[in-house]
Structure formats: C-alpha cells, structure tokens
Amino acid sequence: MRTISESKCFGGVQGVYAHASEATGTEMTFGLFLPEEAAAGPVPVLWFLSGLTCTHENAMVKAGAQKWAAEQGIAVVYPDTSPRGEGVADDAAWDLGQGAGFYLNATEAPWAKHYRMWDYIADELPALVTRNFAVDGERQAITGHSMGGHGALTLALSLPGRFRSVSAFAPICNPMKSDWGRKQFTAYLGPDEARWHAHDASVLMFARHFAGPVLIDTGTADEHAAKLGTPAMALAIAERRQPATLRLQPGYDHGYFFVSSFMEDHIAFHAEALWA
Amino acid sequence: MRTISESKCFGGVQGVYAHASEATGTEMTFGLFLPEEAAAGPVPVLWFLSGLTCTHENAMVKAGAQKWAAEQGIAVVYPDTSPRGEGVADDAAWDLGQGAGFYLNATEAPWAKHYRMWDYIADELPALVTRNFAVDGERQAITGHSMGGHGALTLALSLPGRFRSVSAFAPICNPMKSDWGRKQFTAYLGPDEARWHAHDASVLMFARHFAGPVLIDTGTADEHAAKLGTPAMALAIAERRQPATLRLQPGYDHGYFFVSSFMEDHIAFHAEALWA
C-alpha cells in the first residue's frame, strides 16, 4: 500500500491511498478520513459508497462528511466504484464499465476478469483498512449515494452482523426494474434474472430484514426518480416492519448538494448506532 | 357552549367544553389546550383526532402533548370520536357506532341521522373554536392516532389549504382493505366501494398529494399492523414523491406510550410549519 496524500482535516487526517488488489487484479485507490481520536486508538468507521462515474474522490471532496465525522469521532472510507486502467474492460456508456461497477462480482465476459467489487468492498478493503489504520472492525456502518446507496443497502442486507446501521442518499432501490440495473446486470451477471436477486435491495429487504436502523433520504425533485425504485423499497420496509426512516425531501434533486444537505443527519444517525 | 372545566396546565389552560352540534344533532364535548401566548392574541392550532373507543379525554390525559404545545405556543383541540347519547345508534361491537365514527358522514340507516363527524370536524368545530377562543384559523395543522390518524390524513388530503402540515401515529392508512374499515364503511356508507375512496388515505395520497409536510410514525411491534395498511401509504408516498417522513419505530406497539414517546417530534414538526 502506498500513500498518495495525507492532509490535516477538521483536526484529523484525510488520506488517499493506493494498493494492489487481489479481488480486482488492478491497483485500487481509496480515501480515508481519520478523526483526531484515531491517534489514541481504533475508532468506528463509516463506509461511503459512491455513485455512477465517481472515483474515490467525488464524495471525499463534495459530500461534506468530514466535519460531522470529526465531531462524532468516526472514520470514513471512500472506495472507488470500479476497477480501472488499461486492460480493464470498459464501455462507451458512462453507466457501464469503469466508474459503474455496481458493487457485484461479474460472471460474464469481458467483465468477469476484473469487476469483482463485491469481494473488494465486502472482504479485501475492510481487512486492509483495519490492518493498517486505527479503525475498529467491530464497529462499522455503511452509507452511499445512488449506485452507492444500492451498494450500501445490498451489502448491509447480505452481511448480517457486519454493519450496525445502514443509510442511503437517493439509492437505486430496485435495479431489477430499472434502466440503472437491467442493462448492467445483464452485462455483468448474464440474462438469468434469478441471479440478480442478490443485488436488488428491495428484493433483499422483502426476504431478509436488517438487524439495525435504516435511514433513506431521496429528493422529491430527483431527476432520476423513475430509475431509483423508491416505491419498491418503501413497500418492502413497511411490509417487513423494518425499523427505518424513509424521507422524501421536498425539492431536492439527485446531486451532491442534496447529499451534503443531509450528511449531518446521516452521520449522527450512524454515530448513535456506532457508539451505542 | 358551556364550560365543563378549565385547569391551568404548563402555563396555559386545559379546558373541556360542550355544545349543541348542528352537524350531529347531539351535544358534543371537546378538549382545548391554550398556551400562555393565547392571552395576547390568536395562536396556531393543532387538531388531535383520537382512535377507536376514545372520547375527547383519552389523548388529552395520556398523549402528553401539552408540554410541547406550551413550549411552541400552539393550541391543541381534542374532539370526540362520534356522536353519543340516548337515541344515537350504536352497536355491540366496540369498533362500530359510538366511539367509532371514522370521521365521515354516514349515508345509511340507522347511522345517517347523527353520524356526521366529517362535517363536524371539517366545518362546525373549527368555526366554533376560532369564534370563541384565541385560535388562528389561518394556521392549522392536524394529527391523530389510529382511526384518528385516518381522519387526520383524509381531512388533510381532502381540504387543500386548510392544514399546513399533517402527521399521524399508527394511522389506519388503507381502510378499504382492512377489518378496520370494510365493516364500518359498509355500515356507514353502504356496499358501493366507489363511495369509500374519499375516506381511504392511501387512495387519496395516490390521487391528490398534500401541499405540505407529512410525518407518519408506526411501531414495528404494532399488534394491529395487519389492519393499518402502512405498506399502501408507504407506496403512495414514494410513488407520488410526497414530501414526507415515514418512520417504522422499532419495538413500539399501538398504544399511548408509543404516541407519547414521539409527541415531542410531532409537535416540533407542526410548529415548524405553523410558525413558518
């Protein structure tokens, strides 16, 4: 692992690191914010999974999480959204290929070779972060935006006991029924829809429940509303009586101004679970 | 109108009053909390509609709204849930007849004569309260519990411009599909289900939207969950992108301890809209 940069930030350190990934077979880059408290010992950690086209950098620069994470004494990890580089399959469309890994392990050519973001986020990166930094693997929470909200919800629902809380900003909730999902699942996982279920948060919520609190914010003016499938998640939460708060935030769109507007709420929500 | 009682309460006055109602053709009783600020001029008002079996008294005594209403300078009205008295039709079941008016105007015998709770709550009582007390008819909000949550949501959705905000505790959201609804609508409105639509909050939410914020809390341990139809409302809110917060509150049941636990939140929610 090599350090790309480390900068003091709200009393802590905002770092960017790169490492050779076994999961993806590429070099992967991630951001990590460590609050001041990490100098004294391991701190709880919040994963922030980003959306389509993003690298590790977008949320790190634009989501405004560090201020609140510093106040709460929580680390934040910002992973990349796909493998990258020459020799890594890509597509001319911005919603497939590099920057659009959808947090799954691809099984189909040409994607299967490097697109193993599920293994990377679920296993490899947590092990690397807890081994190298003052981050407490027993106190993890996860959030994300758009495609990253999809990732946060599917990981949280699929790894019982891993995350104490899960939240999402304008998540893709029902990708099996969405233009942000059907095309990508067909490419990465093949046409058998039965294999898609494990990566649809609404399907998982109906089937599995989450043993902690859930917070979802989506703007009423979200320009991608038809692709998010929020109604399917709303229905699943209510049907399963999942402890959850679902907020339709009046007038907000899909962008980072929406994310940053509610970041304080989300960090406080996770802090309550992480420090309990 | 006659005063039954007036008691100092959190610096204001908790009164109980009775009056001859034109709408129901009976004497009706209601509670009214006026905060200290009402001595200086009209204050905003929150309507609290109660659930099955309740009179004006249950929420007034058990919901704990006065403390928060006093802090926010807001009046609270506690109407009764049905006409009452000798000569008023009733049923041996506790969920039909007296104490179970469902906030509608009955059209069928023997209910049509007195069961006109819609007209009473929508027209007669607001006029009486704003005429006789320092209550500002331009700043109204509404909430309720269970059957009263049904009433709050259907009134708010049916009277555009009347209420600045609406909330509900464990509301009956989809009575057309519920044992708390089908039996009563058949009795009060007759078997033609097309006439029930106007009294089903989920149907109304799909059709009409609400031009203000919505807050709904329901406990995950609600023993009447199957009768509430929360999933239908969750779906309607998400489909219509209604500015709203829907919370499934872990471990809470259907009772007044649940209501009082979240009353501070609801009063603060309405205060923000009423004082805007």
Predicted ipTM? Answer: 0.81
Average pLDDT over residues A232-243: 97
Segment A157-184 mean pLDDT: 98
Q: Quote the pLDDT of residue A73.
A: 98
Tell me the average pLDDT across B129-144. 98
| Torsion sign (Cα): A199, A205, A211, A213 | positive
Q: Is the dihedral of CA B57, B63, B66, B69 positive or negative?
A: negative
Interface contact A225-B234, CB threshold 8 A: no
A224 is a catalytic site residue: no
DSSP state of A91: -
Instruction: Band the pLDDT of A249: cuts 50, 70, 90.
Output: very high
The CA distance from B257 to B215, in Å, is 18
- In the predicted structure, residue A276 carries a pLDDT above the cut 90: no
**Chain A residues close to B239, C-beta within 8 Å:** 231
CB contact under 8 A, A248 and B238: yes
Indicate if the pLDDT at residue B118 is higher than 90: yes
- pLDDT tops 90 at residue A101: yes
- Are A231 and B239 a contacting pair at CB < 8 A? yes
> Among candidates B61, B60, B10, B64, which has minimal Cα distance to B260?
B64
- Angstroms from A225 CA to nearest CA on chain B: 9
pLDDT band at A55 (very low <50, low <70, confident <90, very high): very high
Structure tokens at A90: 């890509």
pTM of the predicted model as reported, rounded to 2 decimal places: 0.89
- What is A146-181 written as a DSSP string? THHHHHHHHHHHHSTTTEEEEEEES----GGGSTTT
Question: HSE of A158 in the Cβ direction (CA atoms, 13 Å)?
Answer: 21
Q: What pLDDT, in 10s, does the model give residues B138-165?
A: 999 999 999 999 999 999 999 999 999 9
Query: What is the structure's pLDDT at B146?
Result: 98
Q: Note the pLDDT tens digit of each residue in B56-69.
A: 999 999 999 999 99
Stretch A219-248: mean pLDDT, rounded?
Answer: 97
Tell me whether residue A222 is one of the annotated catalytic residues. Answer: yes
Is the CB of residue B180 less than 8 Å from the CB of residue B173?
A: no
